[in-house]
Amino acid sequence: MTESDPGGSVWLGVDLGTQGVRAVAVDAAGTVAGAGQEPLRHDLRDGPRHEQDPAEWWTATCAAVRGAVAGLRGRPVAAVAVDSTSGTLVVQDRRGLPAGPAWMYDDTRAASRVPAVQEAGSSVWTALGYRMQAAWALPKLVELCATGAVAAGHTVVHQADHVIARLAGRPVATDTSHALKTGYDLLADRWPTDVLDRLGVDPRVLPDVVVPGTRIASVSAAAAAESGLPAGTPIVAGMTDGCAAQVATGALAPGRWCSALGTTLVLKGATPDLLRDASGGVYCHRHPDGGWLPGGASNVGAGVLSRDLPGVDPGSLVPAPDVPPGAMYPLVGRGERFPFTDPGFGGLDVGGPASPTAAETFARVAHGVAFVEKLAFDVLNDLGADVSGPVVATGGTSRNGWWTQLRADVLGRPVSVPEEAGSAFGAAILAAAPPGSLARTAAAMVRLRATVDPRPGRTDLADGYARLRAELTTRGLLL
């Protein structure tokens, strides 16, 4: 799978995002042969409530897929995989049709259920190394069942499961990636029925679970007419959008990591053993090849630039060369979740100028984010992860060559930028991968646009990082 064949098979990845659906058709060499996207126009937010219409997911998926396959000129689609937002649930009937609006990934109406959910399954969650959270799917499931929203014969499924059911014309199995936040026991490889019983949830409302990439269905004749995919096209189980985005970087072997820097900062990698973080900042998905996919998300990122330098494109900013690094932890609001957890932390800026110029603001934010990124890798190392390998950078800031070089210098390791990125691309790689060969398939399909090597001798950066660590330690945020 290393050479592009203009007449050969392609694999289709579909990404169900918050604002729209994107589909890409990718060949064996990682070349995008077709792409389509369609916005989601109906999105209801009201305080803790966040709902979408699953029927629109389906129409948008069909439109995006038709766009992706329109230019293939008869090239066969060998398989399709779908990724979606993590923690989004929908109740569906026996036919796989929606029985109500979807509860989205950040809906927190079930927050009051979290203490009971945490207590009921504390031994399972402790073994897996995480704590239940208000936006996770299991508290939502408990709320739906307790309030009578799950009628007899109905099931509760994840966003990708629902769209795949529409493609297949029948309900399908879910995957271990989407099932994590619904309480699936990744160590025992089963739904924890004793925990569900204590929470008043009938395990029969939940789907079977398989490993991402497992063939679970094929495109029905009715779905073929709506989507443009040939009837009989194999459908494989997908994964969450965050995991699919990781696959798109190829960071699937121990020591290799991807770092997505946009409004926030998300690190993901691969380890042979489960990492357990007592703070809950890091939790692990199952690696389809075996082992684990740990990840953590920080609230630092380019969001501060949107607030302090509105209208300025961070991809084009370059500071003056004489701006020194500062001790800054750039947060837009209050609260941090990784590399430490503190819901009241509002960031810090020690020794910054009273009236900074745009160049100074950018430089201090960029240095601060790079230092927090290094701190996150140090925490992962302390948890037992191998963080010695290269880093693949994605997100809007990866277009800024100066910032990418700074990150390489601070981390002391090469930082690469891929030609293609995004969850839909990762889902296409998942569709192409034979069982147990996701890392090998990604290595063949992911192409790097550039690699930036660290420059030695940057003692100013080492000093700046040490100042930030010392300030965080003084405030009791680090041990």
Residue 311 falls inside a structural domain: yes
Quote the pLDDT of residue 322.
Answer: 60
Give per-residue burial for 66-90: e unless 16+ CB within 10 Å, then b: bbbbeebeebebbbbbbbbbbbbbb
Pair (359, 378) in one structural domain: yes
Domain co-membership, 234 together with 322 = no
Tell which of 225, 242, 259 closes a domain: 242
Instruction: Based on the fold, state whether residues 337 and 470 are members of the same structural domain.
Output: yes
The answer on 265 and 230 residing in a single domain is no
Q: Are residues 303 and 219 in the same domain?
A: no
52 lies in some domain: yes
**Low-confidence stretches of the chain (pLDDT beneath 70):** 1-7, 320-324
In this predicted structure, what is the pLDDT of residue 56?
98
User: Is the residue at 1 inside a domain?
Assistant: no
Q: Residue 128 maps to which CATH number?
A: 3.30.420.40
Please say which residue of 242, 270, 290 terminates a domain.
242
Q: Interior CA angle at 320 toward 316 and 323, to 5°?
A: 120
Q: How many domains does the chain have?
A: 2
User: Tens digits of per-residue pLDDT, 3-55?
Assistant: 445 569 999 999 999 999 999 999 999 999 999 999 999 999 999 999 999 99
What's the CA gap between 422 and 426, in Å, rounded?
Answer: 7
Do 255 and 305 lie in one domain? The reply is yes
Residue 426 is assigned to a structural domain of this protein: no
Domain for residue 320, yes or no? yes
- Please tell me whether residues 408 and 331 are part of one structural domain: yes
pLDDT tens, 158-189?
999 999 999 999 999 999 999 999 999 999 99
pLDDT of residue 324: 66
Range of the domain at 470: 250-419+447-474
Domain-ending residue, one of 221, 242, 263: 242
Alpha helix (H) residue ranges in 107-175: 114-120, 122-128, 137-146, 159-168
Q: Are 172 and 279 in a shared domain?
A: no
Same domain, 175 and 313: no
State whether 146 and 52 are in the same domain.
Answer: yes
Residue with tokens 């203009």: 6
Tell me whether residue 59 is in a domain: yes
Q: Which of 447, 451, 456, 424 is nearest to 11 (CA)?
A: 424
Whether residues 26 and 97 share a domain: the answer is yes
Question: What's residue 3's pLDDT?
Answer: 46
- For residue 333, being part of any structural domain is answered with yes
Question: 342 φ, ψ to 5°?
Answer: -155, 105
Q: Is the overall model pTM greater than 0.85, yes or no?
A: yes
Please indicate, yes or no, whether residues 183 and 235 belong to a single structural domain of this protein.
Answer: yes
- Judge whether 456 lies within some domain: yes
At residue 397's C-alpha, the angle toward residues 393 and 399, to 5°, is 85
